[in-house]
Structure 1
Amino acid sequence: MSVARFIADQRTNYAVPHTLVCALLGVSLAWFYKWIKRANGPGAASGLFTDTARRRDSVDRAVKVAFKDAKGLHGSPRLHADLRDAGWEISEKTVAESMRRQGLVARVIKRRGGLTRQDKTKKPFPDLLCRDFTAPAPNCRWVGDITEIPTAEGKLYLATVIDLYSRRLLGAATSAHPDAELACAAIRMAVTARGGKEAIWREDQAERLVFHTDRGSTYTATSFTTLCADLGIRQSMGRVGSCFDNAAAEAFFSSLEWEVLSRHEFDTRAQARRGRHRLGLRVL
C-alpha cells in the first residue's frame, strides 16, 4: 500500500484528519493534495476520495502493470484476458478506457510479406487435410511454412515443421535464401528429431505421414519432392492465397512475430541464428 493511499484510508475509514496523519508521517500536504487530484480526477478539490475513484485508481495500476508485463504488445482484448486470468472481474471496455486515460497504446508490428511463389510448371499436390488440423497420433500429420527474420545485414529465412498431434516444433532451419535447400534442411531435421526414417515409415500407402504446406515453388521443387518420396512422406498443399488452408503453420508464425520478433533486433544473420534458443525455437 502506498503512503498516500494509507493517509486517504485513515481519513475515509477512521475519520483521522489527513493533516494529522501527514504531520505524523512527515509528508507534505501539497504532495498529498496532488495525489488526490490525480487519483480522483475532476472534482477532486472537494477532498472526497470516492469508491469509484478508488476502483479506477486500482484498475489503472493493474492495467499499467499488465501492459508492462506484456512488453507493450497487448491491446485491450488481450490485456482484458490477462487481467481476468489474474482474478480481476472487469470488462474489456473498462480496460480500454483505462488505457486511454494512461496513454497506453499497443505496439504495431509489421506483418511479413507473402513468400509463396508458385511454379506454374509444377503440378501441385492435393489438399489432404482440408483444414482439419488434428492428428490421431504422432508422426501422422505435419505442417510447415517459411517466414523471414529481419536483420540489419538482410533477411534470414526460417523454415519450420510442426507435428499437429503434439503441436511441437520438430524442424527449424535457417538460411539467407528461401529455397528448396532450406525446406529440405527443415524436413530432415524433423525426421531426425523423431528417430529417423525408420521411425516414421509406414508400409501402408494410405497411412503414410502427411506433410502439408502452401503451393510455393520451394515445396514443389524436384529436390524437395524427391526427398519426401525417399522418406515415405506424402505431400499435401492448400490453395494459393488462402492462409486458412495452412492455418496451423500461420498461427505459429503469428505468435512468433507478435510475442518474440517484435521485441528483438539483430545486427547480423549470424546473431539471429545464435539467438534461436533465446527466441524460443528449440526443437522438441
Structure 2
Amino acid sequence: MCNVLQIAKSTFYYEAKDQKTADELTVAIVEIFYKNRKAYGTRKIKAKLHEQGIAVSRRRIGRIMKEQGLVSTYTIAPYNPRKTSCNEATTANVLNREFEQTEAKRFVVSDLTYVKVQNKWHYICVLIDLFNREIVGHSVGPNKDAALVSRAFATVEGDLRHIQWFHTDRGSEFKNEKMDELLETFEIGRSLSMKGCPYDNAVAETPIES
C-alpha cells in the first residue's frame, strides 16, 4: 500500500499511531463528559485528563467536543422569565398614522408636556379627538403617572364608551395596569406607537410642543 501511495513506511506507521491516539483521546473526553453529568467544559476535562497522565490543550479538547456534539450544561444560558417593559409591549399600532378620521371619538390620542409653576415642574396631559382635533380631556399635576392620565379621562364629556380607540406612545404613564383596567372598563381599544417613533403620534405631540 505504501508503494501505491508513494509514501515511506515510517510515515504510514506514524499517521496510524497518531490516529489511534486521537481516537483514544476522543473516547476519554466523551467518557469524562458523560460521567460528570454533561457539566464539564474544556477546563475541567483538561484537568481530568491531566490526572490520567494525558497532556492536551483546551483548544483541542474544544474541537473534539464540537465534533462529538458535546455541550456543557453550564454554557447554555438559562431562560430567565421577566416582565415585558412598556417599550417592548406587543400591543399593535392600530392607528398606523391614519390621522384623518371621519367619525367622532373613533381615535383619541394623548401626550404629556411639562411647565414650570412657582419654581416647580408640573405635567399637562391632553386627550385629542382626531375627528376634529378638539381637546376633549385634560389634566395637570406634579407627577407624570397613570393618575394624571386618568384625571384627563374624567374631564371628557359624555360616555367614555363612545371612545373606540386610545392611541399614545409607549411611556409608562400610558401603558400600565391602572390604564389597562380603565380602558377595559369602558371597552376602549388600545393602540401604541412603534418604539422610538414620535411620528406615530404626531397629532398629539404637535400642539404640545407648540
TM-score greater than 0.5 by the shorter chain: yes
Determine the C-alpha separation between the residues in 1 that align with 2:196 and 2:87: 18
> In 2, are the aligned partners of 1:124 and 1:220 still within 8 Å (CA)?
no
| Matched AA of 2:190 | Q
For the aligned residue pairs, the C-alpha RMSD in angstroms reads 2.0
Instruction: Tell me the residue number matched to 1:4.
Output: none
Determine the C-alpha separation between the residues in 2 that align with 1:149 and 1:121: 25
Deviation at 1:238, TM superposition (A): 0.4
Instruction: Tell me the residue number matched to 1:232.
Output: 187
TM-score (norm 1): 0.42
Count of aligned pairs between the two proteins: 127
Determine the C-alpha separation between the residues in 1 that align with 2:160 and 2:128: 17
Determine the C-alpha separation between the residues in 2 that align with 1:144 and 1:120: 16
Determine the C-alpha separation between the residues in 2 that align with 1:249 and 1:121: 18
> In 2, are the aligned partners of 1:162 and 1:168 still within 8 Å (CA)?
yes
Other structure's SS at 2:131 match: coil
Aligned: 1:249 with 2:204? yes
Instruction: Tell me the residue number matched to 1:135.
Output: 101
5 Å-filtered alignment, 1:137-176, equals: 137-176=103-142
What does the per-residue CA deviation read over 1:167-207, in whole Å, with 9 as the maximum and x for residues that have no partner?
Answer: 100111011000010111112322xx1x1245x1xxxxxxx
TM-score (norm 2): 0.56
> In 1, are the aligned partners of 2:95 and 2:191 still within 8 Å (CA)?
yes
Deviation at 1:247, TM superposition (A): 0.2
- Shift in alpha-carbon separation, 1:124–1:130, aligned structure 2, 3 A: same
Instruction: Determine which structure has the larger helix proportion and give its number.
Output: 1
| Matched AA of 1:151 | V
What does the per-residue CA deviation read over 1:73-117, in whole Å, with 9 as the maximum and x for residues that have no partner?
Answer: xxxxxxxxxxxxxxxxxxxxxxxxxxxxxxxxxxxxxxxxxxxxx
> In 2, are the aligned partners of 1:143 and 1:161 still within 8 Å (CA)?
yes
> In 1, are the aligned partners of 2:122 and 2:142 still within 8 Å (CA)?
yes
Instruction: Tell me the residue number matched to 2:159.
Output: 196
Deviation at 1:214, TM superposition (A): 0.3
% identity of equivalent residues: 27
Aligned: 1:183 with 2:149? yes
**Unmatched 5+ residue regions in structure 2?**
1-83
Determine the C-alpha separation between the residues in 2 that align with 1:124 and 1:148: 28
Other structure's SS at 1:182 match: helix
